[in-house]
Chains A and B, each alone.
Chain A
Amino acid sequence: MSALRRLPAAPLSLAAGAMVWEVIGRAAGVSFFPPLSTVLDRLGEMAADGALLASVRDSLLNLLLGTAISLVAGIVIGVAMGRSRRVEAALGVYVYALLTAPSLVFAPVFFSLFGAGRGAVVAVIVMYAVFVVIVNTAAAVQAVPAHLEEMARSYGAGERQLLPRVVLPAATPMIMAGVRLGVGRAVTGMLNGEMFIAVVGLGHIVTEAGGSFDSASVLAVLLIVIAVALVAIALVQAADRRLTRWVPQTAKGAQGK
């Protein structure tokens, strides 16, 4: 892997970007683009006053619920679509349509179904995350080589053993790629949902700060949200590495998509 060779490039590039931000922010002196140091100061102030922590907790709970629902529903539906032509025929078009549709337009619907609260935000997160998990899981299950299944059947494996012992393990690398994408989208869904419904969480802060043209707060929250997304994705990747140790190193780069 080229990960080793890459190691110095990423921090270097990040540091350079941070510096450019700081310099341009100071030189421009405009309200909508404060320098990084101002944003970090604001982040410190917000952290000190405690309200931020409560919002982060709220948001993380939303994210956790939404992600959990998306993963369970996504993998179950995806496996069903991958294994059964009828389920695929019944759901395929709709799943693909909703995968690319602008998910936030459903927010008003969830608003009227679940009221202005956690339920609606979680529903928006699921709307953002679930379809990419379904699509990847279905594709993964369909891509399991037929000869593996034939081999297992020739040793007398029944349908009930086939799924947990052959199909799911073989499909795991691609399913995890979908989970990674799903978690990233869940974070976006969390912030967008909270911005629209605007009663709880980090999105609420962004909407309020944006309304009073407090750009430092907006960017401070954005930094937190990016950090949440990167940590969540790192967790998925750690899980992926544990689950797919058998995949040869050379093939790993190829599953990136």
Chain B
Amino acid sequence: MTRLNARLPYQILTFALFAAAWELYARARGGLLLPGFFETLRATGALLAEPELWRALYVSNQALVLGFAIALALGIPLGILLGRFRTLERYADVWLNILLVTPMAAIIPLLVMWTGIGLTSRTALVTVFSIVMVIVNSRAGVRQVDPSLIEMARSFGAREREIFTRVLLPGALPAVMTGVRLGLGRAVTGMVIVELLMISDGVGGLILEYRGLLKAPPLYATIVIILAEALLLISAARWCERRLTHWSRTTATRANLAGSPK
């Protein structure tokens, strides 16, 4: 708590400097396309009262919820299987490495050709954006489980199914939750990108609409609101992660204490 309080003045200072620089730059160079900081704030407040915004958020988040749920339902079991069965993993590894660096936005045109510009396309894109993160982290979680725990369980007569439920799944949970959090970040990215690049609907569509109308303040306000939603969701995921995996910090702290006298 004391550390948090000690940090706060610096955080506020950074934000104040950023806001001041923005405001001054906008006033000096200000044009039709660059509102100042305070103007953006006012526009954000005004936009929050607009039903149009809430409709757009509803449309966007439908794809987010559906797409991310599919990514979790497929990605977690797949990652755990890959982590447990090495042969499978050896063949999947090269594809996962490629998928991790593939800019998924490029497949948006193909998705549109396949399923049109509706909810299905947007949902599929959210899934495609987030699933690789979920798979890779779940796999890493299973691989991180201390092999001596598996040996211990076997010495007490555990069968493969019990090793899965009693050792591998609980042991992998922290990394799986990290995958959920990182995947959620990418899911939000996917949700916005598809709307910005191809399917002008939802909050991304709102940005494009305001840009077309040269309405800079609500354009910036929309960006602020999208960022706020992303941060809220990720903070919520982090909170769940901490609640569910309290134990991993007890061991991590001990390891840190032992590792470095800092």
- Measured CB to CB, the residues of A under 8 A from B are 6, 9-10, 12-14, 16-17, 30-33, 86, 89-94, 97, 100-109, 111-113, 142-143, 145-147, 184, 187-188, 190-192, 195-196, 206-207, 209-211, 213, 215, 218-219, 221-222, 225-226, 229-230, 233, 257
Contacts and interface: CB of A to CB of B under 8 A. Distances in A.
A234 B91 CA distance: 20
A109 B22 CA distance: 12
Contacts of B101: 184, 187-188, 226, 229-230, 233
Interface in B202-233: 207, 211, 216, 219-220, 223, 226-227, 230-231
B193 A86 contact: no
Contact of A12 (B91, B102, B189): B91
Given A89-B7, A109-B220, A218-B110, A225 B103 contact: yes
A94 B15 CA distance: 9
Given A32-B110, A33-B114, 11 more contacts: A90-B14, A94-B15, A100-B185, A102-B185, A102-B193, A109-B220, A112-B31, A146-B262, A192-B193, A211-B109, A225-B106
Nearest to A8: B90
Interface residues of B, number: 57
B231 A101 contact: yes
Contacts of B226: 102, 105
Nearest to B188: A102
B106 A104 contact: no
A14 B196 contact: no
Contact of A105 (B13, B113, B227): B227
Contacts of A93: 11
B100 A184 contact: yes
9 contacts: A89-B7, A90-B13, A94-B11, A94-B15, A100-B234, A103-B189, A113-B34, A222-B103, A257-B140
A207 B193 CA distance: 13
Chain A interface SS verdict (over half): helix
B255 interface: no
3 residue pairs, one from A and one from B, having the closest CB atoms? A210-B109, A112-B33, A32-B113
A229 B97 CA distance: 11
A34 B108 CA distance: 15
B69 interface: no
Interface string B32-50: 0110000000000000000
Contacts of B31: 112
Contacts of B234: 100
A108 B196 CA distance: 10
A233 B261 CA distance: 35
B94 A188 contact: no
A93 B238 CA distance: 14
Contact of A10 (B7, B93, B192, B196): B93
B6 A89 contact: yes
Given A91-B14, A93-B11, A184-B100, A213 B196 contact: no
A17 B96 CA distance: 12
Given A90-B10, A146-B262, A192-B105, A213 B113 contact: yes
A108 B109 contact: no
Given A97-B231, A102-B226, A226-B101, A9 B90 contact: yes
Contacts of B191: 102
B223 A106 contact: yes
Nearest to A208: B109
Contacts of B34: 112-113
Contacts of A206: 106, 109
Nearest to A106: B223
A226 B110 contact: no
B59 interface: no
B211 A108 contact: yes
A9 B91 contact: yes
A35 to B, nearest CB: 14
Nearest to B235: A97
B36 to A, nearest CB: 13
Contact of B197 (A90, A207, A222): A207
